[in-house]
Amino acid sequence: MTPIRRAAAAATAATMLALTACSGGGDDGGATESTEDAAGGGFSPVTIEHAFGETEIPEEPQDVVTLGWGSTEAAIALGVVPVGIEKQTYAVDENGRLPWVAEALTESAEEPTMLPPAVEEPPYQEIDDLDPDVILAPYSGITEEQYRLLSEIAPTVAYPEEAWTTPWRDVITITGQALGLAEESETLVSDLDAEVQQAADAHPEIQGKTVAAVWDVGGVFYVYKPQDSRVDFLLDLGLESAPAVEELAAGGDTFVYELSYEETSRLESDILVNYASTEEEVQTFLDQSYAQAIPAVQAGAVANITGDQLIAAMSPPTALSITWGLEDYVSAISEAAAKVE
């Protein structure tokens, strides 16, 4: 999920890799069920509210299609292998699968259909051919018209508020509610929170340090705001967003902004988290005069998150990618924190 892909989506859906306040812990996703049904055990019909209204799921889904980001991982982590999974285009294998998804599927006897990526439109015909019981898109960029067309195929769950903005915890709980696995999804979130907290506790050196997250790519210097999922995850680890990040923003509700190379010296933070696809890209960035002007670079307090897969694992984090990438991610940040005086 590159900054270019995310910026393009932000522009089209007003979208990617996009995020409003992705901090925390998930509400009930707008789902309701009757007390009588809940007490009776088994699947309880559920209604899930979202940006385009509400979706009723009257029976336990057997055949599930996932679109966008995160719901695939949430379903698999809850023991449900979708019949159809949207192919991803970034940090994937030859089958369009992210590494943590591919690893999880090697342990499954079920083989999902890999759907074409929804670049402009969801692959309606391919989805219809799978005859799904439910379509999950709680972290996606589907439009209201696309939602309507998908709903003609099967009950479709869209995002709660804005495209590409649903916090990872909510993606899990919404998926769990739709599958009749609400309690299991809450347990999964709790387990992942404990895993993140354990990693944070093991690295007291990063606690309370201010951070700025950036990516210098294609001649553009991107700075990610606290609304972005990757920054929100840094805050989960105990870091604090550097005041300069918001002070230098040009305004607007986007999760990321472009900072002029002439202004990089004003980007003050204890730690600079730098995303880069390759080691060569890291070194090219660090060699630039505008990079050398950044206070954290001068101090050597740079956490280089290198490699598309590790970047994707936390951009945004998902039910499977957190465990997959957490150790390497925190280690890079810890090494940078050790340079802070």
Give dist(CA 225, CA 204) in Å, integer: 24
Q: What is the mean pLDDT of residues 232-239?
A: 96
The pLDDT tens digits of the residues spanning 264-308 come to 999 999 999 999 999 999 999 999 999 999 999 999 999 999 999
More confident residue, 39 or 160: 160
For residue 23, pLDDT beyond 70: no
Give dist(CA 112, CA 282) in Å, integer: 36
φ/ψ of 6, rounded to 5, equals -70, -40
CA proximity to 85, closest of 326, 307, 329, 320: 320
Give dist(CA 58, CA 271) in Å, integer: 49
Q: What is the pLDDT of residue 13?
A: 32
Prediction pTM value: 0.86
For residue 90, pLDDT beyond 90: yes
Which tokens in the block code for residue 247?
């002070």
Going by DSSP bridges, is the β-strand pair 256-258/220-224 parallel, antiparallel, or unpaired? antiparallel
